[in-house]
Chains A and B, each alone.
Chain A
Amino acid sequence: MSVNELWVILTGIFVAASCGILGCFLILRKMAMVGDAISHSVLPGIVIAFLISGSRDSLVMTLGAAVFGLVTVFLIQLFKNSGVQTDASIGVVFTALFAVGIVLVSVYTRQIDLDLDCVLYGEIAFVPFDRITLFGMDAGPKAIWGTGITFFITLLVVSLFYKQFKITSFDPAMAASVGIPVALIHYMLMGLVSLTTVSSFESVGAILVLGMLVVPAATAYLLTERLSVMIVYSVAVGIVSTILGYYAAVWLDASIAGCIVTVAGIIFGLTFIFSPSHGMISKWWRKRKILQEDHAKQAQLETA
């Protein structure tokens, strides 16, 4: 494995790990689509941050995007509370903001080097070439720092406030009644989702980040009945998808991000069929067994 290959895979692993952790909470809160919304509507934030700062400095763009991520969540909540249906409110907010982002990119596309394809689909293959220098020394690719720091922040926040994240996902009313700041935890989670989305955007792109947010978590949901285990499985599925996806892409000479999410989708499909607890086959098997036992009982009754 070359050093460059290692950088690419490591970036993917950091993205998969952050997305894997946050995705669990998103799907348990039935908010997968909010992840989708954030991943799209950060686009204008990125562009505006870029226009103001005039640089492709990751930190500035991350901030811009994080602000728009929270604006998105805030707007969705606002519309919802004023009587707009939840799905309609999500749909309106993210498509409108995303469209503004596209307009901004297309207007300024001649002056700036911000490629729409890159924003939408990411180009993880270029990760090793955009490097960062610290104190005059080469400190490795920028994306590693961005995704790595995001991962550690996510890990830190979720571990520190694990019990709050858990109870507000399961029973927000009861959580609020014992004084847990439900709204703050909600915005904390959404802030992390925004951060993750932006740092992932160089690697898997704005659209495919949703795949990494939802598919591994949904897979893990089918495999366990404990939240902590679900998070571990979710991260593991994400990492395995990244590694297999990377080599599949090399082998097929195809989009790396595309291959990563495709592999994740295949793993989900296999889990859906074969999971020992929630899989189609085991469910079918259990139903059959119940039926057989019932028949056996009936037969016994008849002979008796």
Chain B
Amino acid sequence: MSQSPLEINNISVAYQKKPVLRDITFSIPEGKLIGIVGPNGAGKSTLIKAILGLIPRLSGEVKIYGKPYKDQLKKIGYVPQRESVDWDFPTNALDVVTMGRYGHLGWFKRPGKKEKEIAMESLRKVGMQDYANRQISQLSGGQQQRIFLARALAQDATLYFMDEPFVGVDAATEKAIITLLDELKKQGKTVLVVHHDLATVKEYFDWVMLLNETLRAIGPAEEVFTADMLQETYGGRLAVLDKQKESSFVLA
């Protein structure tokens, strides 16, 4: 019997006095690539942060493979938004990726040869092995994003959360991320991705979550990612251009 990798019960979050997320409840099946979609300020990043316990929840419960989050830390990989860190930090690419192992090392163990090897292997998987010793401020935005992905790979998790990995990256990186997502899926891992570009949602993800303060819908992309549902989620701010049979969406 397989446990759902992620079960969310009644999560609500508020910043100051304004509620950002209301009564979010869902569970997801294993081995899916899930796109989290919704307008700006819908609480997409907030949802991830609340699940990971990075911001306080007003209420609600998170179960990872049937257990509380704190017992399952090693099964979780997190890719924060690229702008959330200072890329002028004095360190190189390999070192950042090695940080993905810190959670496995416990309080006192230092990263050693084994950790460096795992980190190097992760860099190879995102095509960044030649940049291992590069100072991180000298990397392009796309390369920095790939370093973050490599770090998540080094965590060797089974459930991944990625916060807008496709924002501001070049075509090569976009391709590298997709290949990687498919690779993770083949290994039976589950990945939740906050995603902005509606045009690519159906192509990249099996499942879609529509979010705007409340959970509007979650399920297989072909069922959930429809013009009507999107219109509802985006509150009518969406112009749907349905030429050439394939839908593309533009924010009005």
Contact = CB atoms under 8 A, between A and B. Distances in A.
Contacts of A224: 90
Contacts of A161: 107
Contacts of A171: 80, 84-85, 99
Chain A's interface: helix, strand, loop or mixed, by majority? helix
Size bracket of the A interface: 20 to 34
B201 interface: no
A221 interface: yes
Given A167-B102, A170-B99, A171-B80, A178 B155 contact: yes
B70 interface: yes
Contacts of B110: 162-163
A179 B49 contact: no
18 contacts: A161-B107, A163-B102, A163-B105, A166-B99, A170-B91, A171-B99, A176-B54, A178-B73, A178-B74, A178-B76, A178-B102, A178-B103, A180-B102, A225-B137, A226-B90, A226-B91, A227-B89, A227-B90
A30 B105 CA distance: 27
Please give me the 6 A-B residue pairs with the lowest Cβ-Cβ distance, nearest first: A178-B103, A177-B78, A179-B73, A225-B135, A177-B52, A171-B85
Contacts, number: 77
Interface string A164-207: 10110111011111111000000000000000000000000000
Contact of B84 (A173, A227, A230): A173
A227 B99 CA distance: 14
A18 B73 CA distance: 34
Contacts of B90: 28, 221, 224-227, 229-230
A276 to B, nearest CB: 14
Interface in A110-165: 160-164
Given A173-B49, A177-B78, A179-B70, 6 more contacts: A30-B86, A163-B105, A170-B85, A170-B96, A221-B90, A225-B92
